[in-house]
Amino acid sequence: MTHILLTRPEEKSQQLAERLSNMAIKSTIQPLLALEAIAVSEQQLAMLESADIVLFVSQDAARFLHALKPELAKHSHCLAVGKSTAETVTELFNKPCASPLVETSEGLLAMPELNNVASKQIVLVKGKGGRNKLAQELKAREAIFQPLAVYQRLANANLNDAMAANWQANGIDAVVLTSNASIDSFLAIATNKTWLSQLTVYLVSERCVNYLQEKANVKHIINCQGADNDSIINAIVGQHKHQQSHAMEQEKDITAKSTISEKPTSKAQTTSNSASKTPVAKQSGSGKAIAVVALLVSLTAVGGLGYGYTLFQQQKNFLVKLNNENITLAEQIAQVNTQALALKNQNQQLQSALSAQVSEAELALNEKIAQQLHAANQQTPELNREEVKSLYRMAEFKALVQNDYLGAAAMLARLDILLENFPGTQQARAALHQDIQALQAVQTADVEGLYLKLSGLIANLDELPLNMVVLPEEADKVDPQALSNNVDDWQSNLKRSWDLLVDDFIKVRKRTAPIEPLLSQEEQALIRHQLRFYMAQAQTALTKQQPAIFSTALQQAQSVVNNYYDVQAANVKYLNSQLSELHARPLVFTPEITFNSAAAIKELL
């Protein structure tokens, strides 16, 4: 009887074991690998938000990625290597996922979705390691390929050589291996080459078959053509039927040989009977001995014949029982096929009935919609007065309370759109348009802009030069040695001679311009602080909407600048011009607003 070792993780192997048990096939579960999550950064997960195509190589890859709670792009397409993986992706991420008919990397690459992938972003969700077939091919097709490893396979720490000995002792004659990593783990402990060569090994792909043939001498290798449970079950059942057929042929050969061996035995019996009929009178002493020997031979022949007949009956009964079981199994298969055909026909009938019901429902719905639209077109629209009142009150609140004149104009515009579908509202709409134009034309002071402008000017006050004393040039000197030739100038000539004599002792320089007194450091700081105070006072008046105080503060600041700063300096000239411009600008904070449409709207309501 077949005994199969299942090496996948516990959950997957349990599902397969239950199905094998229902078919009277014994199995033992021993996972060879343990799966462990890999740390994935936010940057790596962000690739999925912009990916055009997301590829999944296994159900484990889908489950480990789902545990990270990523955001898949709405426009992305999901593809999987196998059907089971595609179903898992659809279940976990609520997105359709396609898979190839041939459940391999080559089959995935042959899908039409991966034909024209130039400049497309493709993310491959997989385990750590594995071959680079997909990466090489997709890069050759000029795709932007990005692998995303979310788990890794680790060898089961509990595996040892004693386990392999127990498997052999328990009569395990087949094993299911689903990856190259599981093949390596199995061969690491299965060191008995004789037992290994007699095993039937079920593999899931041609790649695994080639890998095992390179690693070990195994005679019986079966390719399940897929890693899902259905593919593995079909391969096991097929091999099981083949073994049963082979056993039946061997039993038929044994039965035939037993039948042939009966004929010589019958002949020996006849001979012994003839010998027993020899007259006793003619027997001598030696004849008696021969008779005894003949009697013994006859008894032996009879015993052999009885044993052969019993063995023949047992084999015959076994063949009859086996044939009856085959007939019963064939009947059950035929019954299942009949039920499947009936279910298929019933499904087709249900689909046809459902399609007819859907068509009828669509026709009825379209007719109902058409009737409702016709009835709506026939009815005279009724004005929602509460909505009109609400929009108008909101416009008044924005204009009179919040001073949001553009927002008030927007509310009135929405009210105008509402009224355009109703007759008899032309007068109210005309008044609304008049109010809208008036609100849009309101010019209020840009408080924020003016405040920021004053802040910029205040920040540069410390760099302005004060009006400090500048000494005038010396008066033109008269050459003391230049004496006059006129006799009448004797007095001046005498004075010049005296000045020339004492010039080395005392020097007197004369200046023609008046000298202003110098400013002390405390006075300079006080002047700068005074200018800054007037500028800050203007800012405060601006925020409190006090135009008179704003204008006075600017005048006082400009007076300080003109009296104590160097008005010829470029930055002082600029500050003066800015203060003059701000002072000349009219400030309107709360203009008078009157709604001309109030009477028309009241009449309409």
Q: What residue spans define the domains of the chain?
A: 3-30+158-257, 33-155, 261-378, 385-439, 445-469+517-587
DSSP at 532? H
Rounded Cα distance between 284 and 575, Å, is: 165
Around Cβ 416, how many Cβ atoms within 10 Å? 19
The pLDDT score that the predictor gives to residue 473 is 53
> For residues 374 and 411, which has the higher predicted lDDT (pLDDT)?
411
CA 33 to chain centre: 28
Give the DSSP per-residue string, 550-584. Answer: HHHHHHHHHHHHHHHB-TTSHHHHHHHHHHHHHHH
Its pTM stands at 0.40
Q: Six-digit token pair at 105?
A: 């990397």
The pLDDT score that the predictor gives to residue 264 is 46
Phi, psi at 376, each rounded to 5°: -65, -40
3-30+158-257 has which fold? Answer: Rossmann fold (3.40.50)
Pairing between β-strand 174-177 and β-strand 200-203 as defined by DSSP bridges? parallel
Residue pair 101/107 in contact by the 8 Å Cβ criterion: yes
The pLDDT score that the predictor gives to residue 270 is 42
Residue pLDDT, tens place only, 81-118:
888 899 999 999 999 999 998 888 888 898 999 988 88
The mean pLDDT of the chain is 81
Residue 427 scores a pLDDT above 80: yes
The pLDDT score that the predictor gives to residue 201 is 93
Q: What's domain 33-155's architecture?
A: 3-Layer(aba) Sandwich (3.40)
How far, CA to CA in Å, does 205 sit from each of 32, 45, 202, 403, 516?
Answer: 18, 30, 9, 76, 105
Residue 474 scores a pLDDT above 60: no
> For residues 338 and 49, which has the higher predicted lDDT (pLDDT)?
49
Rounded Cα distance between 346 and 344, Å, is: 5
Residue pLDDT, tens place only, 157-204:
788 888 888 888 888 889 999 888 888 888 888 888 888 888 999 998
The pLDDT score that the predictor gives to residue 258 is 53
Residue 62 scores a pLDDT above 90: yes
The pLDDT score that the predictor gives to residue 280 is 41
The pLDDT score that the predictor gives to residue 483 is 66
How far, CA to CA in Å, does 167 sit from each of 161, 198, 203?
Answer: 10, 13, 19
Confidence tier at 286 by pLDDT (50, 70, 90) = low
Rounded Cα distance between 91 and 577, Å, is: 73
**Sign (positive or negative) of CA dihedral 369, 375, 381, 382:** negative
Residue 471 scores a pLDDT above 70: no
Confidence tier at 253 by pLDDT (50, 70, 90) = low
Range with lowest mean pLDDT among 35-49, 283-297, 299-313, 411-425: 283-297
> What average pLDDT score do residues 136-152 get?
90
Confidence tier at 276 by pLDDT (50, 70, 90) = very low
Q: How many CA atoms lie within 13 A of 145 on its CB side?
A: 17
Residue pLDDT, tens place only, 512-556:
555 555 677 888 889 999 999 999 999 898 888 888 888 899 999
> What average pLDDT score do residues 140-160 get?
87
Residue pair 180/188 in contact by the 8 Å Cβ criterion: no
Residue pLDDT, tens place only, 289-316:
787 777 877 778 777 777 777 777 777 7
Amino acid of residue 195: W
The pLDDT score that the predictor gives to residue 281 is 40
> For residues 474 and 293, which has the higher predicted lDDT (pLDDT)?
293
The pLDDT score that the predictor gives to residue 226 is 80
Residue 124 scores a pLDDT above 90: yes
The pLDDT score that the predictor gives to residue 248 is 65
Rounded Cα distance between 436 and 460, Å, is: 42
Residue pair 393/411 in contact by the 8 Å Cβ criterion: no
Range with lowest mean pLDDT among 468-482, 489-503, 571-585: 468-482
How far, CA to CA in Å, does 362 sit from each of 349, 355, 357, 371, 576?
Answer: 20, 10, 8, 14, 79
Rounded Cα distance between 19 and 237, Å, is: 11
> What average pLDDT score do residues 556-573 get?
90
> What average pLDDT score do residues 69-88 get?
90
Range with lowest mean pLDDT among 138-147, 236-245, 472-481: 472-481
Residue 487 scores a pLDDT above 90: no
Q: Six-digit token pair at 290?
A: 């021969």
H-helix or E-strand spanning residue 56: strand 53-56
Amino acid of residue 574: Y
Rounded Cα distance between 123 and 563, Å, is: 74
Residue 341 scores a pLDDT above 70: yes
Long-range contacts of 548-557 (CB under 8 A, 24+ apart): 550/587, 551/583, 554/579, 554/582, 554/583, 555/583, 557/531
**Percent of the chain scoring above 70 in pLDDT:** 84
Residue 476 scores a pLDDT above 70: no
Confidence tier at 503 by pLDDT (50, 70, 90) = low
Residue 262 scores a pLDDT above 60: no
Q: Mapping DSSP to helix (H, G, I), strand (E, B) and coil, where does residue 129 land?
A: coil
Q: Do the first three CATH levels of 3-30+158-257 and 33-155 match, i.e. the same topology?
A: yes
Q: Mapping DSSP to helix (H, G, I), strand (E, B) and coil, where does residue 222 land?
A: strand
